[in-house]
Each structure stands twice: as structure tokens, then as C-alpha cells.
Amino acid sequence: MPSNFPSRVHELSAEEQSIYRQLDPSRIPQHIAIIMDGNGRWAGKRALKRFLGHQQGAESVQFVVETASRINLPWLTLYAFSLENNLRRPKSEVSFLMKLLKNYLIGNVKRMNDNNVRMAYIGRTYDLPQEVQDTMQWAMEATAKNTGTTLTLALNYGARSEIVDAVRRILTDLTTEAHTRGCSVEDLLGAGALDSLDESTLSRALYTGHMPDPDLIVRTSGEQRISNFLLWQIAYSEIYITDRLWPDFRGLHLLEAIADYQRRDRRFGGLNENSDEKIDTLQPVSELETEIATELAPPRELSRR
Ligand code: FPP
């Protein structure tokens, strides 16, 4: 586990350290996922072409990854290219993004290794250009032995199709098992396969089956939506939205997001630890009627108006 490695907090910049000192190191999230948005707007504000916004965005990726590795964040997942980006953006922009990704990987594998970062991918990556896939594979193998932060790039990714792929995988596995056992799928379903299919079966069949769900999801550039990212996995994630555009986002801002996260009260649908009421000291509702009437009645001055 990354947490067994010597701390690299001293490598943070002075500004980052001043925020890190406010954090509780025992409550650093296990997994942060980021929707990197605002590259186009960043470029537009400077009367530059959108491409330059993406290029600057790639710089932010490396800054943020290195800060994440210095604080021993185990999992960082970045939404780099969605299925919808692939289908709906002009061909020239898509091919620029592919070139940028390839150059980014070639140019940064050494830095990934220097920072003990392991690279991984999620999404329908088999539909990306072959030369991009080859570079991705190379970068993944070249960093496979690293034990620090796992940087997962979501590429040609869509959460709904991830769920579809998971269901297909479950059905394929079931068909294979029936074949191996020499029985029908129906036989297996009747013999308990249907009853034992639960949330953990689906979680394990997702691209992220080996990862913990994100504790924190960050979105840059102020948009308040999830855009088909990790829909299943973020059921209980804390959401942090910043107006900062992705090309202006740095490690410092990741630490600010973690500070904000640490101020939240995560309840996962329950109550917080201090809210356990002792049943034997609870008063019957009939004895509380006056109290309820006073609490719920509008203040007199208001009700007279
Ligand atoms: C949104 O900006 C961002 C993307 C389409 C993809 C993110 C890509 C990068 C950060 C650069 C390359 C990444 C890697 C890993 C090398 P937008 O164009 O939607 O911005 P806008 O909403 O302001 O137009």
C-alpha cells in the first residue's frame, strides 16, 4: 500500500504545505475522481484556439498527479476523454486530443516512474486509434511496478456504457460457466445464480472493480453536472465544484478540495456517530404535544400579520 512508503510531503511547495498542514493526514481520501473541464473557455478568454487550452490542461494533469503522489493518494481517476467527446466533437479536435494524449504519455512516463505512479485506463479504449492504444499499453507496462498513486485515465469512457459492459460481462461469464458444467444458463439461474447476483457482483464487473469507490469527485469550471462519469461508483461520493478552469488547476487546489472534503460529515445514508439516542430515555410522542406545537407554530407576530 502507498501509505507504507516514506512520506514525500516535504516535496510539496511552500504554498501546498501551508494547506496540507491544515489537513488530517489520517483522513486523506482513498480515491479522488476529477472531471477536468474548462479548457476551451480558458483558451477563449485569451483569444487562443481551443487546442491550446487542451495543451495547457495536459500540464495541469502532471502537476496534479505529482501532488497526489506526494501526499500518498492511493487512487486518482481523471476524465480525460468521454464517449460523447469522441462522437460529438469535430474530427480535428478529437485527433488533436489523441495526439496530445500520446505525446503526454511519451513525455511523462519518466516523471511517473520518478513519482512512483502507476498508469491505468478505463473506457472502451479498444476503439481508440491503434497507435494511441500501443502507447497506452507501453506506458502502462513501463509503470506497472510502481506502488504509489494509481493514475487512471478515463478514455473513450461513458458510465452508462460501462454498466452495459458490466452486464454483458456477467452474462458472458454465466454462459461460459453453464458451458463448462454442461448445463443451461436457466439451470444455473434456478440453482441460485440469480439470488446471489447483488450490488457487489455488479461493482466487481465494472471497469473499476478493483478500486474503492471515489470518496471525492471534483469538477472544475463551475458546471454542476456529472456528465456520465462513474455514475454507479459515486453514489456516496462528496462533490466539490470549483469555478477554476482546468488549465488553472494545480496541486494546491487539489489540497483545497481535500480540506473542504474533510469538513464534510459523511453519513452514507445513516446518521453521524453522535446521534445515537437511548431508546429507554425517549419520551412518548403524546407527552411531547405541547413542545411540538410550540416548535412548529409560526411566531405570534408573524401569524398576526
Ligand atoms: C474539457 O474541456 C476537457 C476535455 C474535453 C478533456 C480533458 C483533456 C485534457 C485535460 C487534456 C489532455 C489530457 C491528458 C490526460 C493528456 P472543454 O473543451 O470541454 O472546455 P469548455 O467546456 O470550456 O469548452
pLDDT digits (tens, 9 = 90+) for 3-14: 456 789 999 999
CA distance 267 to 249: 29
Same domain, 38 and 108: yes
Q: Is the CB of 104 under 6 A from ligand 1?
A: yes
Pair type for strands 118-122 and 150-157: parallel
301 domain-assigned: no
40 domain-assigned: yes
Distance 148 CA to ligand 1 centre (A): 25
Does the structure show a pLDDT above 60 at 303?
no
pLDDT above 90 covers a percentage of the chain that reads: 84
Last-in-domain residue among 147, 176, 205: 205
3 domain-assigned: no
Q: Determine the pLDDT at residue 1.
A: 46
Same domain, 105 and 182: no
CA atoms within 13 A on the CB side of 110: 3
Pocket test for ligand 1, best of 246, 248, 249, 250 (most atoms within 8 A of CB): 246
Same domain, 52 and 186: no
304 domain-assigned: no
1 domain-assigned: no
Question: Burial letters for 168-193: b for 16+ Cβ neighbours within 10 Å, e otherwise?
Answer: ebbeeebeeebeeeeeeeeebeeeeb
Distance 109 CA to ligand 1 centre (A): 20
Dihedral sign of CA atoms 120, 125, 129, 134 in order = positive
| Spatial strand order in the sheet of 216-219 | 118-122, 150-157, 75-82, 31-35, 216-219, 238-241
Last-in-domain residue among 186, 205, 224: 205
Same domain, 153 and 179: no
Binding residues for substrate: 38-42, 50, 54, 82-84, 89, 219, 225-227
CA distance 45 to 54: 14
Q: Is the CB of 247 under 6 A from ligand 1?
A: no
Same domain, 19 and 124: yes
Q: Determine the pLDDT at residue 277.
A: 67
Contact, 68 vs 149, CB < 8 A?
yes
Binding residues for Mg(2+): 37, 238
Does the structure show a pLDDT above 60 at 287?
yes
Same domain, 114 and 179: no
Distance 172 CA to ligand 1 centre (A): 35
Same domain, 170 and 150: no
CA distance 288 to 12: 56
Question: Burial letters for 198-207: b for 16+ Cβ neighbours within 10 Å, e otherwise?
Answer: eeeebeebbb
122 domain-assigned: yes
Q: Is the CB of 85 under 6 A from ligand 1?
A: yes
154-185, pLDDT tens digit by residue? 999 999 999 999 999 999 999 999 999 999 99
Q: Determine the pLDDT at residue 272.
A: 73
Same domain, 61 and 83: yes
Q: Is the CB of 36 under 6 A from ligand 1?
A: yes
Count up the domains in the chain and report the number. Answer: 2
Cell output for 126: 479498444
Distance 262 CA to ligand 1 centre (A): 27
pLDDT above 70 covers a percentage of the chain that reads: 90
CATH of the domain at 277: 3.40.1180.10
| Strand stretches in the chain, DSSP E | 31-35, 75-82, 118-122, 150-157, 216-219, 238-241
Same domain, 29 and 125: yes
Active site residues: 37, 85
Same domain, 104 and 137: yes
Q: Which atom of ligand 1 is the closest one to the Cα of 37? A: 1
Q: Is the CB of 251 under 6 A from ligand 1?
A: no
4 domain-assigned: no
Mean pLDDT of the residues in the chain: 93
Residues 6+ apart with CB under 8 A from 71: 8, 9, 12, 20, 28, 255, 258
3-state secondary structure of 33: strand
Cell output for 36: 477536468
Range of the structural domain that residue 166 is part of: 160-205
Same domain, 46 and 91: yes
251-269 average pLDDT score:
93
Distance 34 CA to ligand 1 centre (A): 11
Same domain, 152 and 254: yes
Q: Which atom of ligand 1 is the closest one to the Cα of 246? A: 10
Q: Determine the pLDDT at residue 305.
A: 47
Last-in-domain residue among 149, 175, 205: 205
CB-based burial of residue 291 (10 Å sphere; 0-12 exposed, 13-18 middle, 19+ buried)?
Answer: exposed
13-52, pLDDT tens digit by residue? 999 999 999 999 999 999 999 999 999 999 999 999 999 9
Does the structure show a pLDDT above 70 at 298?
no
302 domain-assigned: no
Q: Is the CB of 153 under 6 A from ligand 1?
A: yes
